[in-house]
Structure 1
Amino acid sequence: MKIAVATKDDWAQVSGHAGQSRHWLVFDCQPGTPLPEPERVELTKEQLPHHFKDDGPHPLHGLEVMVTASAGTGFMRHMESWGTQVLLTGETDPVTALEKILSGEALADTRFDITTTLCKLRDLFSRH
């Protein structure tokens, strides 16, 4: 199961605003095996989900799950069209969030984020 976590520039904290997130940790998890080392994926501006035109391959295609602190409904619909489920969390540590997902534990609730409200407004006019 491939799971990607949106991170801040330091690769150490879960990031919000997934559609604008450049830094992703991608884990290729296999049942019954230890947590693998993540692949670090850094997106270009053109590859950011808010800008990507779906006109070719993308480094985040093929994921089953994306984890982020915030995302608008347009982003979630867009990722659903890729076959990817988006999970929101208030966890700040990417590995802790991933371990909770894999063990079936509930993720921490998200915190208020003004960018999510702005994304919802933007999503009213989104192509997704």
Structure 2
Amino acid sequence: MTKSLVDRERYILDGTVQAAGYALKYGIAFTIAGGTHHAGYDFGEGFCLMNDQATAAGYLLQQKLANRILIIDLDVHQGNGTAHIFEGHQQVFTFSMHGEKNYPFIKQRSHLDIGLAENITDKEYLEI
């Protein structure tokens, strides 16, 4: 683990928390750096040392800025870390739509998972 990787993760966490606050204020926000969804409660995976989505959700709940949160993860990889962190939590619902046979090969259980077949067409994807 390098200092630059840790710094990268810290910037991503901060950006996602700021984007969540911006969305509450203005109704919409976007961050292109987020998506460290492979980091779980007690593990990092790949380049994901800390989970920015979970951190932002936890911040919003702790500050009483939200009562319930829906995390929609449409990355080709399952958001296994996010699912791991919020397993059994009622305030955060995790939804992951991902390639069924893609990394990670051992999936965690989100509140709702949709595993997609390989070579799915855009039309099929949008219908699902």
| Larger Rg over CA atoms | 2
Q: Which structure carries more strand by proportion?
A: 1
| Fold in common (TM above 0.5) | no
TM-score, scaled to structure 1: 0.28
